Amino acid sequence: MSTATVRSATAHSATVDTPIGPFTAITADDGVVLASGWTGAVDDLLAVISPALRPAEVTSRAELGPVTRAVRDYHAGQLDAVAEVPVRQRGGEFMEHAWTALRTVPAGTPVTYADYAALAGRPQAIRAAASACARNAAALFVPCHRVLRTGGGIGGFRWGVEAKRWLLDHEDRN
């Protein structure tokens, strides 16, 4: 996860059909994911990109090369396909570290918010860990869906609890 402020004048977006609905990604000129999620509306994603990174313009493309391939491969059962896709987000020091730590949680092994806080190096910062999940702009590539409530409850998800359940079941099956 890059922490440098690299604001693109132009970014690119593409939408892919998935079993749980349209999935759109926005990438900077260098191909790094700025935002992604299960929506067909680019504006839904622009709103969650840090102002320091938010592009002035987004052009639509049929696909985004390796990013689109990774999304398709993940939904087809190749769960590690999204792991190496580069992501760029901005937040405070803890939040950026927490997003990087979240990328180490393997598919099929969800963690609790308490586990996630410990993984991010601040075991007492459970609310801050939950906030990092809520502010994650790069869903799937930074797998916030793999974090559950203490006791195993599914918790919330920007793209809907049904989508989160599908993702967890998909990862458990594969």
With contact defined as beta carbons under 8 Å apart, do 52 and 7 qualify? yes
The catalytic residue among 144, 147, 163, 167 is 144
Residue with tokens 């935002």: 35
57-60 vs 33-37, strand pairing mode: unpaired
Edge to edge, the sheet with strand 33-37 lists: 33-37, 21-27, 10-18, 57-60
Of 71, 143, 136, whose CA–CA distance to 106 is shortest? 143
Strand bridging mode 21-27 / 10-18: antiparallel
Cβ atoms of 58 and 12 closer than 8 Å = yes
As a whole number of angstroms, the distance between CA 122 and CA 130 comes to 12
Residue 84: what residue type? E
Chain-centroid distance of CA 115 in Å reads 18
**21 neighbors 68 (Cβ within 8 angstroms):** no
Residue 133 bears catalytic tag: no
Q: Which residues are catalytic?
A: 144
